[in-house]
Each structure stands twice: as structure tokens, then as C-alpha cells.
Chain A
Amino acid sequence: AQRVTQPEKLLSVFKGAPVELKCNYSYSGSPELFWYVQYSRQRLQLLLRHISRESIKGFTADLNKGETSFHLKKPFAQEEDSAMYYCALKGGSYIPTFGRGTSLIVHP
């Protein structure tokens, strides 16, 4: 079975502070991991994929197989980063499992 845990329902930071949104997974094989974001009144959209090793809007995420984590990080948060963030795992099935989401609020 595969599982994704986002331990924080809500993360509140001030503008310019570093941000780390936690994601832990449970899967015995080689996972494919994703971060999705949903800004207010917008559709859910793919933010980044671990396989791409890319930085999108200043966010990065590194797969740590030893700790089974895929935390999303940004060194300096901006107000426009306020959104709902979902971590997702694709394991043996091509159907991803989503975490419950973390709401990020960046205060001015």
C-alpha cells in the first residue's frame, strides 16, 4: 500500500521567511512524487515533479529515500505563495495518492 502524509494542515509564515512544507510517504518501491498547488479561486495545478529536478517559482523539492520524504522548500516566501499545497505519490499503480494538503499563509 502507498500512503502520503502531510503532517501540517496549516503553515503560517511572514514574507521573506523560509518555507518548508513537509511530505512523507510510504511505499516499498521506487516512487514518483509530485507537488500540486491550488491558489485561491484557481484550479489545482502541477507545481513540480521530483523526476524533473526543477525549480518552479523558487520552490524546490528533493526526494530523500532514506527518510522517505519529499519536502517542498523555498528560501524566501512571497505573499503570492499563499495557497493550498498537495503532495502526491505514484507507486505501482499509475493512480497517484494525494496527501491531505497543507494550507500555506504568507503574511505581509
Chain B
Amino acid sequence: DVKVTQSSRYLVKRTGEKVFLECVQDMDHENMFWYRQDPGLGLRLIYFSYDVKMKEKGDIPEGYSVSREKKERFSLILESASTNQTSMYLCASSLSQSTNYGYTFGSGTRLTVV
């Protein structure tokens, strides 16, 4: 069974901390994505990557950065966590830019910033 694995299911961090959210996929997918999921707002794209060491800003990149040093791993970094970054974070991957393919999602990381 193909998998997208997010390293933590729940995280609690303090304001101002640097936070790392890790995502690993075992499907040799080219594209990886980070979304945040908030009630009433749906899924909002933070960053995506279509190749190793490549990254592109999504709709809400402010306060975040990403790293993709290896094809299978895509990390989301909160440089200085703030309470408005409390959310559910979803990682996803897809095989190619072909429009026929959907996403495979991870289980999500629920981050609480206090």
C-alpha cells in the first residue's frame, strides 16, 4: 500500500519556536505539497515542490519555508511559530503533472502553538 507518512500526529509548540514538520512518501512521486486545513476555509496550499531542491510558493507561504533535499522527503518549517499557525497540516504527493492523477495525502499533523 502506497504511503505518505507525516512524522507527528500531534505537536504542541511555544510561540517563537522553530518547528519542523516532516513528510516522507514511498511512491517515487515527483510532486509534493503542504497544505493547512482549517474549518470553513478548506485546504490552502502553503508550498509545493515538483523536484528535488525545487520549491514554489503556494497561496499562503508567509511564515513558512520548505526543504526538499531528497525526492522522498518534504519538510515544512515554521521559522518562528505563532498562535495563528495553529492548524492541521497535510502533506500530499502526486506522480506527475498529468491532470489524470489525484493526490495521496498523509494523515496530517495537528499543530498547536501556545
Binding site for B on A (CB under 8 A): 6, 9, 32, 34, 36, 42-46, 49, 51, 86, 90, 94-96, 98-101
Contact = CB atoms under 8 A, between A and B. Distances in A.
Interface of B: 31, 33, 35, 40-43, 45, 48, 58, 90, 92, 94, 97-100, 102-108
A95 B48 contact: yes
A15 B102 CA distance: 29
19 contacts: A6-B42, A9-B40, A32-B99, A36-B103, A43-B106, A44-B108, A51-B99, A86-B42, A94-B97, A94-B98, A94-B99, A95-B33, A95-B45, A95-B48, A95-B58, A96-B103, A100-B40, A100-B41, A101-B43
B4 to A, nearest CB: 8
Contacts of B102: 34, 36, 46, 49
Contacts of B98: 94
